[in-house]
Amino acid sequence: MCPALNYNVSKLFDRINLRILTFLAVLLMYNIGFVVNKCQPPTKDFLHFTKNITDLDHVRARQFVYLDCCASGYDTITWYFKNNNTKYSWKEFPFLYQECEHNDECPTLFLENQTLLILKATVGYDNGSYICVAHNSSSGQNISHLEDLLVVDCVERLKPEPIPPSDVITNIGQNATFHCAADFGCKSSFTRDVSWYIGTVEVQDVSTRYIVTEENRDYSPVVQANLTVLNVQQSDFDVTFSCWVSSDFDIDTPKFSVKLRQEGNNHRYHALVVHDDSRNEDNDIADQITSTLEKEGYKICNRIEGSGKGVFSHFGGYLEQSASVIILDMESDSDDSNTFRVFIESSLRNMADSLVGLTVIQIKGMENSVMDSVEYKGLKRLQWPGSESSDRQRQKFYKQLQLRLPKPVKLDERTPLLQSV
C-alpha cells in the first residue's frame, strides 16, 4: 500500500506546484506585464477596443503567453480557438473543456475575460488562431478580433536567421507598414535587436510620422519590428529605409533596405512561384508550372539567385515585382516552416490587396500544412494534379490557375507589365 500512497502524495504535490506556478505567473503579469500593455477595467460606454491588438504573436514552447482583447462598453467577452494541428473547427472557451477539470495548465481568463493566459504553451495544443468577441446586450452589437499564435520550439543557431522586409506598395495619404524580424534561436543573447534606420539615423528621429512598434519577448526566439509610415507623402517615396538585425553573435550586422512604391502597374512578372527549392520534389513541381505557363506567354519568376537555400531564396525584391504569387504548400514540421509562416504573415499581409491572385498549391496527402490556417482576401487553394493525373485533369488545373493571373503580354527585362491588372 505504501508505494500507492507515495504515488498519490507525489501527484498531490505536482498539482500544488502547478497551482503555485500559475499563481506566480499571474502575479508576474500583474506586477510587470500589466504595467506595460495590459487592459484597463471596462467602463459602461460605447462598445470599442481600448488598445491596438496584435494580429500575430509568437511564444517559445513551454513558456507562458497572454493574449489581450482590451475592450470597453461590453457585457460579455467570449473566446474561440482553432488548432492549426487538427482539422477541428472553432471551439469556445474553455477549449479543452473535457480535460480542464483535471488539468491545471488549461488556459485561464483574467480582467473580466479581456486577457487569456496560456501558462505553458505547446505546439500541439496551443498553436493556432484565437478570436475574442465582445458583446453589448443593450445595443446587440458585437466586435471581434482574430489573432494567430505561433508556438515554436527554438532552434540552436550559430547566427540569427533574418526575415527580411519587402517594399510596400501604397499611395499618398495612406498608412504603410514594413515588417522586419529575425529568429535568434535558443542562444542566450544580451543583444537581440531589430531596428529601423534612414542612413545611420533611427527613423523615429527623422519624422514623427515614422512609428516603430516592437515585439521582443525574452522567451520567444523571434524579434520583430514594424515600421509604419503615417499619412504617406510624395517625399517618402524617395526615402530608403533600412532594417538592422543586431546581436552579440560574432557576425556583421545584417542590413536590409526597402522603399515605398507608389501604387500602379510596375510589375515585371506575371507570377512569383514561392517554393522550398532545397526539396527536389518541390523544384520539379515549380519547374512544371513555370514551363507550362511560359508556353502560354506568361513571364514567371521561379529560380532566383541563392537557389538551393530553402524557401528563403525567394524573398527580397521579387515579391513586389510580381503581379501574383503562387505558393507551394509546406509541411508544418519541415525545417523552415516556422519562419516561412512568419514571412507569409508579415510580408504578404501588406501585398495581398495589390496582388491579382494569391494561390496556394496543395499537394495530395499532405497533413498539417503551413498554409491551412492562413486566410487572405482573394486567396484560393488548388490541388496539384500529380503525375498520375489524366490530361483532362491537368488541363483543368492550369485553366483554373490562369484565371488567377493577369492576361499574358509580351515583356522584356526592362519593361513592366503594360496591360492593366
Report how far apart, in Å, the C-alpha atoms of 243 and of each of 107, 162, 174, 227 are.
36, 10, 21, 9
Burial of 231 from C-beta contacts in 10 A (0-12 / 13-18 / 19+): exposed
Give the cell for residue 6: 507515495
* Sequential pLDDT tens for the chain (421 residues): 334 334 343 444 444 454 444 444 444 444 434 434 578 888 888 899 988 777 778 777 777 888 999 999 999 999 999 887 776 778 888 876 555 655 566 788 888 999 998 887 877 778 888 999 999 999 889 999 988 888 877 777 778 888 888 888 887 888 889 989 888 887 666 678 899 999 999 999 999 999 999 877 655 778 889 999 999 888 899 999 999 998 887 677 889 999 998 765 567 888 888 887 777 888 899 999 999 999 988 999 886 554 445 555 555 567 777 888 888 888 776 766 766 766 666 556 656 556 777 888 888 877 777 777 666 666 788 999 988 889 999 999 999 998 888 777 554 444 444 333 3
Say if residues 134 and 145 touch (Cβ distance below 8 Å): no
Say if residues 222 and 342 touch (Cβ distance below 8 Å): yes
Q: What is the DSSP letter of 407?
A: P
Domains in the chain with CATH codes: 2-152 (2.60.40.10), 161-262 (2.60.40.10), 271-402 (3.40.50)
Give the cell for residue 400: 483554373
Give the cell for residue 200: 545611420
- Residue 59 dihedral angles phi and psi, to the nearest 5°: -150, 145
Give the cell for residue 373: 490556417
Q: What is the distance in angstroms between the CA of the first residue and the CA of the last residue of the chain?
A: 78
Q: Can you tell me whether residue 186 is helix, strand or coil?
A: coil
How far apart are the C-alpha atoms of 113 and 79, rounded to whole Å? 8
How far apart are the C-alpha atoms of 18 and 108, rounded to whole Å? 13
Say if residues 221 and 152 touch (Cβ distance below 8 Å): yes
Report how far apart, in Å, the C-alpha atoms of 282 and of each of 199, 255, 276 are.
39, 30, 6
From 299, 360, 351, select the one nearest 328 (Cα to Cα).
360
Say if residues 375 and 360 touch (Cβ distance below 8 Å): no
How far apart are the C-alpha atoms of 418 and 214, rounded to whole Å? 39
How far apart are the C-alpha atoms of 88 and 170, rounded to whole Å? 37
